[in-house]
Structure 1
Amino acid sequence: MIDHLGLQAADVAAAIAFYTRVFAPVGLREAMRYETPDGPVVGFAGPDGHPQLWVSPLAEGTERPVHLALRAPSRAAVDEVFALARDAGAEVLHEPRVWPEYHPGYYGAFFRDPDGNNVEAVHHTPPSPPVQD
């Protein structure tokens, strides 16, 4: 059900060092990193290699809202979750779309829950098998 969790850090370098060192015994490692104008965003993975814990710069004032992504069984389910959130009056952050910067089959929609947390419904379309001649 939980696909990934994102935390904001006042000092991203310190957070990266902390998580890398403290959770090394459970197989946590840096799997992805990309730069933003506010600093690096780092995705940590366990033994399966799928980034599930993300640390990013504190970018939304002095509060640290959580980012929670729940995995959906299909793109249609993402669309349905988004429609229900919008109908419930949730603040829309991003309408459903493909996010190729994450990976080619990443389809997600983002909105705020009643407490201001960044909530996402996401579906990972598996890559197509290679064409054989």
Structure 2
Amino acid sequence: MNYKFGAGIAHLEFWVKDMEESMQFYSQLFPLIGWYALNQTSYSCGVHELYFKEVPIGFHDSLGVRHICFHATSTEVVDKVGEWLQSINADVIRGPQLMPQYGHSYYTVDFRDPNGFVLEVAYMPEARL
């Protein structure tokens, strides 16, 4: 089958300090939010791809994205992620909680992955893409 891609993001690449630690974290997070493994170091939601590459600390100095927010399909998904984060003693920044300043039903949890990346999983039924 030949697919024609429209405008958008093809993939995101995460540079990580420890591939094994990162994959242990993401292999548990992604199934909770509906993403699946493409191989041992990349995942997809069916529309976007995110992959990981281990690089030595100090390999490259660059500024990047402040955080990545993943869509959740319900508040229950956000709560499951929050429970899982607590069970592994992850660095939770806030939530799960309502953030009415972003929309009356905006429900989110913000946290850091093992590399210190700031991630968010949010249910936002009013969002229009």
What is the TM-score when the length of structure 1 is the normalising length? Answer: 0.44
Whichever structure has more strand as a proportion of its residues is 1
- Largest Rg, 1 or 2: 1
